[in-house]
Amino acid sequence: MFAHASPRPGRRPASFVHRTLPIALATMALVASSAWAQQKFVNVLTGGQSGVYYPLGVALSQIYAKAVPDVRTSAQATKASAENLNLVQAGKGEVAFSLGDALSDAYKGNEEAGFKTPLKKLRVMAAIYPNYIQIVASADSGIRTLADLKGKRISVGAPKSGTELNARAVLKAAGLTYADFSKVEYLAFGESVELMKNRQLDVTLQSAGLGVASIRDLATAVNIVVVPVPPEVVAKVGDPAYQSVTIPANTYGGQTVAVPTVAIQNYLVTSDAVSTDLVYALTKATFDNLDVLVASHNAAKVISKEAAGRNPPVPLHPGAEKYYREQGLLK
């Protein structure tokens, strides 16, 4: 009879390996799952790729990925303010760009502005830079004033976007409705510019930071006129979020004189569902890396932490408030 072979020295019996392998795999899965649970996701909701929100949002996502531990980030192109706010309320974004008037409308639940119910989860992270309402016509359209817009072909921004809400408010203050135009298009900035280049539109209204790429592009292709919005029209809007400002001369090619218009503050918005610690870290990273934002777009030059927490249209997030208090910027 043959003797049973014993295992070689230093080797485990097969039965031992079969028993311990599932335990080892389960332990590895638990460790991986624990690390995954600690991983934070930050989706930055921006705007159209030809606007200002998008390059700034991409820059923010890169800042957060480098500066905040255990964070994975993305930047999502959207139709801007209104869509962004609805997505934040639904938990589909952690940081979003929005105009101040859209933010206020969303929090109150202004149905005409596209918010059927109040979005009470919204919280302000920071006031950033103002949007200038820029009404730009082709020089050969004959448009020189707001009154000249009647009967012309206009693009007013994507439907229910912050730009389109701004368009409604300013045109109403000027005594105009969409019915006064021969054609109204609801298009993103880049699409509006292409139609103007092809002479299919006379004028585009764009609510964006100064020097927005779409209008710079238009000014290189056709002769433009930046249509003034006088202070008396701004006053008729009846909303303190709308302030009289001036577009400096030579902001765009062929625009040789300063032009009065209206500006509205932009905000970075988050949700009350995002933790205090994470929002604190995101706020700090934003203001520790302003040079990166400025490199992504000139509109960021006016962003300052000193003004970021003042008079928000909806409550500050506790994480942002903690940062501003630490900086001595809030009482």
Sort residue 328 into left (φ over 0), alpha (ψ -120 to 50) or beta: left
- The answer to whether position 188 is within a domain reads yes
Q: 151 with 255, same domain?
A: yes
Q: 205 with 234, same domain?
A: yes
Q: 180 with 209, same domain?
A: yes
Q: 108 with 139, same domain?
A: no
Q: 135 with 254, same domain?
A: yes
H/E stretch holding 172 reads helix 162-173
- The answer to whether position 331 is within a domain reads no
Q: How far is CA 78 from CA 49, 61, 73, 140, 202, in A?
A: 9, 15, 16, 33, 25
Strands 203-208 and 153-155: parallel
Q: Which domain holds residue 181?
A: 131-264
CA dist 123 and 96 (Å) reads 10
Residue 323's identity, in one-letter code, is: Y
Q: 54 with 89, same domain?
A: yes
CA dist 269 and 318 (Å) reads 12
Q: 274 with 247, same domain?
A: no
- The answer to whether position 16 is within a domain reads no
Per-residue pLDDT at 159 = 83
Residues of the chain with pLDDT under 50: 1-11, 14-17, 24-37
- The answer to whether position 288 is within a domain reads yes
Q: 203 with 242, same domain?
A: yes
> Tens of pLDDT along 7-24?
444 445 544 445 555 554
Chosen domain end from 249, 264, 279? 264
Q: 145 with 200, same domain?
A: yes
CA dist 299 and 284 (Å) reads 20
Chosen domain end from 246, 264, 282? 264
The answer to whether 282 and 144 have CB atoms below 8 angstroms apart is no
Query: Domain with 53 in it: what CATH number?
Result: 3.40.190.10
- The answer to whether position 32 is within a domain reads no
Q: 175 with 241, same domain?
A: yes
- The answer to whether position 209 is within a domain reads yes
Q: 83 with 172, same domain?
A: no
- The answer to whether position 120 is within a domain reads yes
Q: 182 with 208, same domain?
A: yes
The total number of structural domains that make up the chain: 2
- The answer to whether position 139 is within a domain reads yes
